[in-house]
Structure 1
Amino acid sequence: MTPAEHTATTARTKPSLFNRIIGVLGELLITAGIVIALFIVWQIWWTDIEANRAQANEIEQLQQEYGVVTVEDSGIAPRQEGPPPEWSGEPAYGDTLGIMRIPAFGYDYGYTIRNGTNMTEILNTGAFGRYEDTALPGEVGNFATAAHRQTYGAPMIDVPDLEEGDAIVVETSDVYLVYSIVSDQIVLPTEVWTIAPDPFQAYEQSQGRGELTEPTRRLLTITTCHPPFVSNERWVVHAEFDYWTKREDGLPEALVDPETADALEGGN
């Protein structure tokens, strides 16, 4: 090839400025796509791993602090009559109130309950957060909480599986408080009647019916996002206090797998 032919070939194959710009944009878009994909993996998968690992450690520490209770060692605790023990005072922001247990999600299911609902400091740790100024666990009124349905541990990912009558148990250092689910609904985030002292009264009033009176029921509410990854609505579960047991007496029946209970009875 002569020098002249080489120069002509180079001129023909050298990309234009437009093509070079398109090439750079393409590379940038590919890089951006990789970054977005990694972010999605982190948001959906890794935050669950981190939060659940942290929760497992916290639950283990709380169990050591409260004292480990097993049905094999302590049996099934008898139900106590009357109201549960009262709280000694209002907890500080961020304090751990106990452990939320939902047997329908597994008898080993447990996430901490902390005072407050700040996203970064509380909910993103995988914990349930108590709406401040609502009732404390076991008190008359509405013990209202929030928890993630996806990412950061996703403690309420299986909320559609819950049914009326399912137990929700709040475990504290001294007692187990057993609630029974009475209703659930999907609402807009603006429908704050769901965490009122008596949400059923508050709903009726929002519809122009009835009046608000002093609460008499001991209720528990869990709010979580709906639908997953869109979260423009809220799935709300309401439960009513059923009974309580002393920690020193063993596990409440609600936290004992019926097969385990049958095996223990068969061995007696």
Structure 2
Amino acid sequence: MAQGRPAPPARGPLARRLVWNGAEVAVTLGLVLLLLVLHQLWWTNRQAKAGAGRQVEALEREWGARRQPSGEARAPSQVPVPDASGSPERTPAPAGSSAARGGGRTSTGTGQAAERPRWDQAYAVLSIPRLGLRVPVAQGVSKPNVLNHGYVGHYPGTAQPGRAGNFALAGHRNTHGEPFRYINRLRRGDTLTVETRNATYQYVVDKSLAQTSARDGGVINPVPRSRVVPSAGYSEPGYYITLTTCTPEFTSRYRLVVWGTLSRMTPR
């Protein structure tokens, strides 16, 4: 008579309980991870976008309340006018003025003086029609105080809107409102508009850099030029805007850069 295979040993109550407990832990961990992913990819976006939208509305209300009544005479404006090469040139300040002497507050290019924005203060609105984006710009690039609120952050030490040099901005590409998620879709000739209390500045997208080091500070220099890809950027002073974000998506290993040049300034 053929001898069959021995029957597997029966699992005791303790072994079955250990297997069951292990399965429960695995399911619980899976649910926790799923909730964390949903929080990062959905809830933070929802909260940040809503908050950023409210901030844009608040700035517009503030600017509207401070705008001069219609029909009231405006002071003469100092507006950069593009020269033949397309680079704006600033109208000279009146002799004897604080601007001509190099003192006083920062000129906005509209004949009005403006105080520097406070740290983490939202003070401008960036609009990108191609992306359907309208987002507040705040001073500084702090994650907890600026970027994680769905705002775009202004790099300290770079130029302010409409000023000679480089108005450099950073924004999240994923989570927390992800305002710069699709800036890789921008093409040469697309418009970028920056609104402030005193003026509206229109920039035109000119160049981009698909990938560079996260430490490539050259891209936000007054004359922006990559230190990693020397052929990317500019070689002459001008009126620039720079958008930076992380790449590839869902990582922070590299940076994606888009550059534009100032084309028009409209006083409010």
The interval holding the TM-score normalised by the smaller chain is: 0.7 to 0.9
Cα deviation code 1:5-57 (max 9, x no counterpart):
xxxxxxx9873433322221211111010010011011001111101111111
Give the 4+ runs in structure 1 shifted more than 4 A: none
Secondary structure of the residue aligned to 2:114 is: coil
Question: Quick one: distance in 1 between partners of 2:80 and 2:140?
Answer: 30
- Counterpart of 2:95 in structure 1 is none
**Residue 25 of structure 2 is aligned with which of 21, 28, 35?**
28
Cα deviation code 1:120-162 (max 9, x no counterpart):
1100000000111111111111111100111111111221221
* Bigger relative CO (Cα 8 Å, ≥ 6 apart): 1
**Residue 18 of structure 1 is aligned with which of 15, 19, 23?**
15
Code of the aligned partner of 2:217: V
Cα deviation code 1:186-230 (max 9, x no counterpart):
212021111111113x649x859xxx99x7311111101111112
Is the contact between residue 222 and residue 237 of structure 2 (CA under 8 Å) also seen in structure 1?
Answer: no
Code of the aligned partner of 2:246: C
**Residue 221 of structure 1 is aligned with which of 242, 246, 259?**
242
Cα deviation code 1:241-261 (max 9, x no counterpart):
1111122xxxxxxxxxxxxxx
Question: Quick one: distance in 2 between partners of 1:125 and 1:81?
Answer: 33
Question: Quick one: distance in 1 between partners of 2:51 and 2:142?
Answer: 17
1:116 aligns with 2:140: yes
Is the contact between residue 242 and residue 260 of structure 2 (CA under 8 Å) also seen in structure 1?
Answer: yes
| Alignment coverage as a number of residue pairs | 218
Report matched runs for 1:236-251 at 5 Å: 236-247=257-268
Question: Quick one: distance in 1 between partners of 2:159 and 2:113?
Answer: 10
Question: Quick one: distance in 2 between partners of 1:16 and 1:98?
Answer: 67
Question: Quick one: distance in 1 between partners of 2:175 and 2:222?
Answer: 29
TM-score scaled to structure 2, two decimals? 0.74
Question: Quick one: distance in 2 between partners of 1:133 and 1:15?
Answer: 70
**Residue 100 of structure 1 is aligned with which of 126, 141, 144?**
126
Question: Quick one: distance in 1 between partners of 2:230 and 2:56?
Answer: 42
- Counterpart of 2:41 in structure 1 is 44
- Counterpart of 2:218 in structure 1 is 193
Is the contact between residue 208 and residue 258 of structure 2 (CA under 8 Å) also seen in structure 1?
Answer: yes
Change (3 A) 1:87 1:110: farther
Question: Quick one: distance in 1 between partners of 2:173 and 2:46?
Answer: 14
Secondary structure of the residue aligned to 1:67 is: helix
Change (3 A) 1:163 1:89: same
Code of the aligned partner of 1:154: E
- Counterpart of 1:266 in structure 2 is none
Question: Quick one: distance in 2 between partners of 1:55 and 1:15?
Answer: 59
1:173 aligns with 2:197: yes
- Counterpart of 2:182 in structure 1 is 158
Secondary structure of the residue aligned to 1:199 is: coil
Question: Quick one: distance in 2 between partners of 1:177 and 1:162?
Answer: 18
- Please report the RMSD computed on the Cα atoms of aligned residues, expressed in angstroms: 2.6
Is the contact between residue 166 and residue 240 of structure 2 (CA under 8 Å) also seen in structure 1?
Answer: yes
- Counterpart of 1:140 in structure 2 is 164
Change (3 A) 1:37 1:87: farther
Is the contact between residue 104 and residue 162 of structure 1 (CA under 8 Å) also seen in structure 2?
Answer: yes
Secondary structure of the residue aligned to 2:156 is: coil
TM-score scaled to structure 1, two decimals? 0.74
Is the contact between residue 206 and residue 259 of structure 2 (CA under 8 Å) also seen in structure 1?
Answer: yes
Question: Quick one: distance in 2 between partners of 1:14 and 1:216?
Answer: 78
Code of the aligned partner of 1:91: P
Give the drift of 1:87: 5.5
Question: Quick one: distance in 1 between partners of 2:138 and 2:264?
Answer: 22
